[in-house]
Structure 1
């Protein structure tokens, strides 16, 4: 039985519900990451005893599930998309923006599907956009491929942001600090392809890089959908 199948306790002495518990947990995670979230700390923020929370949430994993579903409410499209490509692009960008607001989300993306009502509504919107476009197996593969890119790109971007905070250096400052070592290594001639990329490549910001990679993935999906069945 999932946490959504289990009714909340009634008749408690003070007002407490899963919505308040999840909001407090998200606030803690936004401030200090998932490692700062525990039922004890959430209870303290709500000025309640830790045992009170166990009537509403059995484990920390259930709490994480509820937190992820709450953020999926931010990812839900505001209006039905025009087609599958718009649906997947909109979902990707809304998920990225949600992860930048709630960096801990990057640690929980991927793995088993989220089963909360908001997450299911997000999945429904993506799949419905493919209605009449392709067979179900092809659609699921397309959604999974875009999801894999999305998860990897978001985790990389969040990892870079965390590294900036840990070192106190922006990405550009870190590049300048490590530049002499890189230049010495490239001068050995052992890495010609890498040297060309460093000297001739164009630097792009994270949002542009994300959007470009997403468009490439969507182009590949469109090409697959355009092929006649084998």
Structure 2
């Protein structure tokens, strides 16, 4: 029986009552501050001021806890819109915002489909909003948007982590390595790349994300019109 179907232990009159919801909320607070490495059943029990063994009546393994955490965040992703394009844009944007609120979420999305109630509700909201899209194309279209968003947000989170690890923001990094690039480009070995770096518009993260999303949605629209 999967964790979402397994009944919780009966409520007991104790100083620190427990529930899966409270356990998951505590785990998310730990992960939001210090990342997934900070999450363990022992540490979550400490936050809740209970013994670790009490958690095992609610959650059997750390993997179950991670699944519950992911599903809780999927509860923040509720795509809306009056057309398939609006729904897919909303899917992309609400997923990105969820990752920005919970950086660790970027490490856990993707892979096997999530089957928790919030993930299924998110899927229902997306699929039901794709009226007019051929049935056989619904899942490939959603998968394409998910793949774009996952790649984009993981790149953004990697940049955040690099800033923290190096102590340099993007501008400081450019100043540090700019002279090296100028010397390299001066050799004439990379003329096309040099032109783009020197002369093309340099977009910020929001502009890059939304422009890339427009490219993807335009491509989907062109394919659907065939």
1:140-159 superposed matches below 5 A: 140-159=139-158
- 1: CA distance, partners of 2:13 / 2:114: 32
- 2: CA distance, partners of 1:219 / 1:83: 14
Q: What SS does structure 2 have at the residue aligned with 1:75?
A: coil
Aligned counterpart for 1:76 among listed residues 75, 78, 82: 78
Q: What SS does structure 1 have at the residue aligned with 2:75?
A: helix
Residue of structure 1 in register with 2:112 after alignment: 112
Unaligned runs of 5+ in 2: none
Q: CA deviation at 1:180?
A: 1.1
Aligned counterpart for 1:50 among listed residues 35, 42, 52: 52
Q: CA deviation at 1:210?
A: 0.3
Equivalent residues of 1:76, 1:118 under 8 A apart: no
Residue of structure 2 in register with 1:38 after alignment: 40
Q: CA deviation at 1:88?
A: 0.7
- 2: CA distance, partners of 1:68 / 1:76: 14
- 1: CA distance, partners of 2:208 / 2:179: 26
- 1: CA distance, partners of 2:172 / 2:99: 24
Alignment length (residue pairs): 224
Say yes or no: does 1:65 pair with 2:67.
yes
1:143-222 superposed matches below 5 A: 143-222=142-221
Q: What SS does structure 2 have at the residue aligned with 1:104?
A: helix
CA root-mean-square deviation: 1.1
TM-score scaled by length of structure 1: 0.94
- 2: CA distance, partners of 1:188 / 1:52: 66
Q: What SS does structure 2 have at the residue aligned with 1:71?
A: helix
Q: What SS does structure 1 have at the residue aligned with 2:57?
A: coil
- 2: CA distance, partners of 1:171 / 1:213: 20
- 1: CA distance, partners of 2:123 / 2:90: 13
Q: What SS does structure 2 have at the residue aligned with 1:23?
A: helix
Q: What SS does structure 1 have at the residue aligned with 2:76?
A: helix
- 2: CA distance, partners of 1:182 / 1:52: 57
Q: CA deviation at 1:201?
A: 1.4
